[in-house]
Amino acid sequence: MVDRPVSGPDFMATVLTLLGIDPTKDLHAGSRPVRTVAPGGKAIEEVVGKG
């Protein structure tokens, strides 16, 4: 995005959304939850087409 730089967490949230994975949910490594996206990461609306 040249017009609007995005953060790493926003990029990751976008990738997960495009793959059909909810970026607000935690994954589990054994019995411990692991964040998929840092707090505040949101999918880029211009890319995912939601808005």
pLDDT digits (tens, 9 = 90+) for 10-34: 999 999 999 999 999 999 989 999 9
* In-domain check, residue 1: no
Please spell the DSSP secondary structure of 13-35, one letter per residue: HHHHHHTT--TTSEEEETTEEEE
Q: Is residue 25 part of a domain?
A: yes
Measure the CA–CA gap between 6 and 31, rounded to whole angstroms. Answer: 32
In a domain, 51, yes or no: no
Query: Is the pLDDT reported for residue 51 higher than 60?
Result: no
Q: Is residue 2 part of a domain?
A: no
pLDDT interval class at 3 (50, 70, 90): confident
Task: Look up the domain containing 16 and give its range.
Answer: 8-45
pLDDT (mean) for 28-50: 92
What percent of the chain is predicted at pLDDT more than 70? 94
39 assigned to some structural domain: yes
Sign, CA dihedral 17-49-42-7, equals positive
pLDDT (0 to 100) of residue 21: 94
d(CA 45, CA 39): 17
Contact in structure between 12 and 37 (CB atoms under 8 Å): yes
Number of domains in the chain: 1
